[in-house]
Amino acid sequence: MTDIEDKLTRVLAGAADQVPEQARTRLSAAVRARRRPRRAPAALLAAAAVVVVAGGAGTAVRVLGSPAVKQPAVNATDAQGPMPQPTLKPEEKPPPIERVWPQALHKLPVKLPDGRAYIPQLLIDDRTLLVKTAKGDGRRQFLWSYDLESGRPRRIAEIPAGNSTSPSQDVAAGGGNIVWWTSYKEPGRQRVVRIWAVPVGGGSPRKVTDVSLDVTRKGRHIQALEVVGSDVVFTRDGFGVYRVPLRGGEPRAVPGTEGQYLLRWPWVGHHTDRDAPDRHVDFSELFNVETGERRGAVVKPDENFVFCGVDRCSGQRVPKGSDPRAFVRDRDGSGERTVPFDVRVFDSGMERFYLRMPMEGGIFLYDLLTGTSSDLGIQRDKRGGMRIPDIGFDRLITYQLGEKMYVVDLAAIK
């Protein structure tokens, strides 16, 4: 366990003790079926705890901790102007997403033509979903693409297995290439992370580079993989941000990033605010490695569990003698809004879209810019649990309902 994990776990455990027993029971049931998310902001990679956001009669939960998988770059927010105050009351149920944002929703079969289940990874472009087959059945692992307009899948490549000690991780795409990494242990040699690449059109995967794990802190893997032009960039935990040519070569450190993490290229920063070591405040200071620009963020003394993206920050305010409140605002402190207590402020798609989890059940998609919500159609199972959709820093949300895979392209919502 890292220092960040240890600190966050202790703080959140204390917060959970203040929640009524009935709420804690319901929270436990709500996350029982939680599957590991495909993507999450890089700042939350080290965290593994339950965040409680209490307000009024409701409580929202989030199990933190996941690998980051990056998408081709998109603007965090194209729309401008003041953010509206939320108007939807917690007990009101919004219309289904098919009615609110039909242009953003695609429904696919949950299995490929060969009968295998798959895991959505990212959108290669506006109409192409990249998926990979699961490895749990012991069979070979493949990358496929799904044409969202025609519904036709196409096999891209087989993922090399060799002496891998973990399935393929952290898939990214850009510049006509797909990249991923896998952990390997060669006989008589140290364990390495190998970065692979293959053209989007298909072909034989080629090795980009090997990253020795004996030089990374506590043997952690690389994080936050992206394709930038003709290079692959990634975070090497505890050692900064590195880049390596797609054609192959040795990784080289990006100047000025030592000890920092990649948020989204070209922005890097620290997981925790160095001026507030007793609080969990991620990426309050950002550095643009291409231009040298630095961006600070307004964080108030009574705020904790704050995650800052490139343009906005979200988190909790914990006033003395009252329940915590969730907020979202621009990095400079402007445009602050108190969001509904059931909004999961630690996950945001494109720094605009959030999930809402009312205690009455269901999961809603909430648009911060317009105040609009839609019902994703997810309900509790017989044990009271729900499978929470994957939502991270990018434009993609996916989840399964019955025999259909629901694919939501947030970039299609204007």
Give the amino acid at 278: D
Average pLDDT over every residue of 204-220: 75
Q: What is the pTM of this model?
A: 0.78
What is the H or E stretch that residue 227 is in?
strand 222-228
| pLDDT of 215 above 70 | no
Q: What is the predicted pLDDT for the residue at 383?
A: 84
Banded model confidence at residue 166, pLDDT cuts 50, 70, 90 = low
Residue 208, SS3 per DSSP: strand
Cα 350 → chain centroid: 10
Cα(300)–Cα(167) distance, integer angstroms = 41
Residue with tokens 């309902």: 401
Residue with tokens 């299609």: 412
| pLDDT of 245 above 90 | yes
| pLDDT of 111 above 60 | yes
Tokens read off for 348: 């945001």
Mean pLDDT of the chain: 78
Average pLDDT over every residue of 242-267: 95
Say which residue, 1 or 231, is predicted with more confidence: 231
| pLDDT of 292 above 60 | yes
Banded model confidence at residue 4, pLDDT cuts 50, 70, 90 = very low
Say which residue, 35 or 126, is predicted with more confidence: 126
Cα 90 → chain centroid: 25
Cα(5)–Cα(235) distance, integer angstroms = 18
Q: What is the predicted pLDDT for the residue at 285?
A: 94
Candidate ranges 20-29, 76-85, 206-215, 241-250; pick with highest mean pLDDT: 241-250
Candidate ranges 69-73, 84-88, 199-203; pick with highest mean pLDDT: 199-203
Q: What is the predicted pLDDT for the residue at 185?
A: 76
Q: What is the predicted pLDDT for the residue at 227?
A: 97
Q: What is the predicted pLDDT for the residue at 412?
A: 97
Average pLDDT over every residue of 74-80: 40
Q: What is the predicted pLDDT for the residue at 167?
A: 65
Q: What percent of the chain has pLDDT over 90?
A: 49
Say which residue, 301 or 266, is predicted with more confidence: 266
| pLDDT of 286 above 70 | yes
243 has which bridge partners? Answer: 233, 252
375 has which bridge partners? Answer: 96, 364
**With the C-alpha atoms ordered 374, 101, 86, 39, is the resulting torsion angle positive or negative?**
positive
CA dist list (Å): 142 to 139, 187, 326: 10, 25, 41
Give yes or no for a contact between 246 and 175, defined as CB atoms under 8 angstroms apart. yes
Cα(60)–Cα(263) distance, integer angstroms = 25
Q: What is the predicted pLDDT for the residue at 90?
A: 52
Cα(346)–Cα(339) distance, integer angstroms = 12
Say which residue, 279 or 258, is predicted with more confidence: 258
| pLDDT of 172 above 70 | yes
